[in-house]
Amino acid sequence: MTEPDRAVVAVCQVDGVAARVDRAVLRDAVDSAVARGARLVVLPELAACGGVLPSAEQARAAAEPIDGPTVALLAELSAEHGCVVVAGLAEAGEGAQVHNSAVVLDHGALVATYRKVHLWGAEKNAFEPGDRPPPVVRTSAGRVGVMVCYDLEFPEWVRLAAEAGAEVLAVPVNWPLRAEGDPQRPFEVVKAQAAAVTYRLNIAVADRCGVEAGIDWYGGSMVCDVDGNVVAGPACVHGPDLDHGPAAPTVLVAEVDLAAARDKRLGSFNDALADRRPELYG
C-alpha cells in the first residue's frame, strides 16, 4: 500500500434519530459522499441512535456490540465502496458497561475501535470512559486518527494522535447549539482550528443535526487543514439571533493534504512537536 499524499474527505451531517428509525439514512449519506469522490467518510458520534442518553438504562437500550448491526452496515458500505468509514456508536462492553465508541473500517475490515475518554455532561452517568489513547491507523486514505467529541477539546489528546502519525483526525461529534457566545464561530470550532494548527494535522468533524430532547444540534460539521483554516463548513452557520432554524442533513467534501501533516517544521528554525519542552510541563 503506497502512502497517499492527498485524500478526499467527507463529513456527513446526519440526523441520528432518523438513522435509528431507518439505517438507510447512513447508507444514503455514505453513498452521497463517495459519489462526490470521498475516500474517507466520517459520520457523527452515536450515529445510528439517540444522541441524548443521560442514564445508564438509556445507554444500555441503545447499545450494541462491535459485531452488531450498525458496524455490519458500516463494514458493508466500506467494502462496497472500497473506502474508509468512521462512525460513532453506543458500544455494549463488558458486563453492563456501555461505551461511547467509534470505529474505523477500511475496505470492509474493522481496523480500529476507540472508547471516548473525556465524557461530557450527563454522559458521565451513562457511559464508562475509555482508558486507551486515540488509535492511529494506516488506511487506504492515509493515516487516520480517531477520537470522539469532547476529547478534541483536550490538546494533549490531539498531540498524542499527531505524535502517533495521524495525518487526518476523524472526529464524530454531537455539538449542542448554545445561546451564548458567537453562533457563527462557536468555541468548539475555534478549538478544532487551534488543535489542527498547533499539531499540524487535518481534522474532519462530523456533527449531528436535528432537534432532540430539547437540544438543537449545532450542525457544525467541518474540515480543517494543517494551518487551522476551515476548508469546508461549518455546515450550519447560524445568524446572530440563532434564527436560521435547525441544522439540516448535509455532506461536505474537501481534499486534504496528508503530506503536509507529515512535516511538522515551521520554517527553518521551528517544529510544532520538537519545540515543546515537556520536561517543564509538570
Contact residues for a copy of itself (CB under 8 A)?
A: 117-118, 120-124, 131, 133, 150, 153-157, 159-160, 163, 180-182, 187, 190-191, 193-195, 197-198, 227-229, 267, 269-270, 275-278, 280-282
Q: Which is nearer to a copy of itself, 27 or 118 (CB)?
A: 118
Residue 113 or 193: the one with the smaller Cβ distance to a copy of itself is 193
Whats the size of the chain, residue-wise? 282
> How far is residue 17 CA from its own chain's centroid?
18
- Quick one: 153 or 255, whose CB is closer to a copy of itself? 153
Which amino acid, residue 110? L
Q: Whole-angstrom Cα distance, residue 126 to residue 165? A: 32
Lookup result for grid cell 486507551: 132
Q: Bin 184: left if φ > 0, else alpha if -120 < ψ < 50, else beta.
A: alpha
CB of 260 to a copy of itself, least distance (A): 12
Rounded CA separation 102/85 (Å): 10
Smallest separation (angstroms) from a copy of itself to the CB of 169: 15
Compute the least distance from the CB of residue 127 to a copy of itself, in Å: 12
> What is the rounded distance in angstroms from the CA atom of residue 133 to the CA atom of residue 105?
18
Shortest separation between residue 227's beta carbon and a copy of itself, angstroms: 6
| Minimal distance, residue 177 CB to a copy of itself, in Å | 15
* Minimum CB distance to a copy of itself, residue 148 (Å): 14
CA distance 163 to 271: 12
Q: 140 in helix, strand or coil?
A: coil
Residue whose CB is less far from a copy of itself, 95 or 282: 282
Closest C-alpha among 262, 204, 186 to residue 11: 204
Residue 35 or 266 having the CB closest to a copy of itself: 266
Peptide bond into 240 cis (omega under 30): no
* Complex with a copy of itself: residue 5 or 271, whichever CB lies closer: 271
